[in-house]
Amino acid sequence: MTDSPRPRDTRALPDRWRDTLLAARSGAPGPDPLPYAENLLVRWAEPQRRYHTTAHLTAVLDRIDTLAGYAADVHAVRLAAWFHDAVYRPDRT
């Protein structure tokens, strides 16, 4: 997937994580989503990353929003996007 050359606004990512997790829970109780967002966003912002950055994550989530109508379980797809490169090791590419 090629990200757009324009800068992406990543400030909404904590809210997008919260919304994704709450929707995936389908009303079931659970822990506060914010600490998990903070942990994931620290990972996505690691200095060794060149492509799999918060801008890339935003681009993926934007694309999912565009194609959401085609997904059987869009919440699972969004969760997969958040975790697809949460652990990034450049020596394992």
Lowest mean pLDDT among 27-31, 67-71, 84-88: 84-88
Report d(CA 83, CA 46) in Å as an integer.
Answer: 14
Structural tokens at position 81: 């996007």
Average pLDDT over residues 25-29: 89
Tell me, what's the pLDDT at 21? 93
Q: Is residue 74 part of a domain?
A: yes
Q: Is residue 28 part of a domain?
A: no
Q: What is the DSSP string of 10-37?
A: -TTHHHHHHHHHHHHHTT-----SHHHH
Q: Is residue 69 part of a domain?
A: yes
Choose from 8-12, 24-28, 75-79, 82-86 the range with maximum mean pLDDT. Answer: 75-79
Q: Is residue 65 part of a domain?
A: yes
Q: Is the pLDDT of residue 55 over 60?
A: yes
Q: Is residue 6 part of a domain?
A: no
Number of structural domains the chain divides into? 1
Average pLDDT over residues 48-66: 92
Q: Other C-beta atoms within 10 Å of 74: how many?
A: 17
What range defines the domain where residue 49 resides? 13-23+33-92
